[in-house]
């Protein structure tokens, strides 16, 4: 039976492959960027929870780190939206 790190490793590989395979099938750049950043958010959350062992940390720390990931990716998406729309 695979443990949590093995499952996370497989999920990270799958998300990395999706990052390469999916963009050519997305017709709109903003949607494609949002999708890629969503994959990055999922990868970041898995890494933080399982490899940095925040899964067993207090909920406040998990929430703060998750909020940080979301804020950084939201700013990245807004930057790409500005570039695309200009």
Tell me the whole-structure pTM to 2 decimals: 0.84
The pLDDT, as a whole number, for residue 20 is 92
Coil, helix or strand for 36? helix
CA distances from 53 to 1, 4, 46, 61 (A): 20, 11, 10, 11
User: CA-to-CA distance for 16 and 39, rounded, in angstroms?
Assistant: 8
Helix axes 59-85, 29-46, angle to 10 degrees: 160
The pLDDT, as a whole number, for residue 29 is 82
Per-residue pLDDT of the chain (86 residues; tens, 9 = 90+): 788 889 999 999 999 999 999 888 988 888 888 899 999 999 999 999 999 889 899 999 999 999 999 999 999 989 988 988 88
């Amino acid at each position: 039976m695979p443990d949590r790190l093995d499952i996370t490793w497989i999920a990270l590989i799958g998300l990395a492959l999706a990052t390469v395979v999916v963009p050519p099938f997305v017709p709109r750049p903003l949607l494609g960027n949002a999708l890629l950043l969503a994959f990055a958010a999922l990868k970041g959350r898995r890494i933080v929870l399982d490899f940095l062992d925040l899964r067993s940390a207090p909920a406040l720390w998990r929430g703060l780190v998750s909020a940080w990931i979301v804020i950084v990716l939201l700013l990245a998406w807004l930057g790409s939206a500005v570039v695309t729309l200009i």
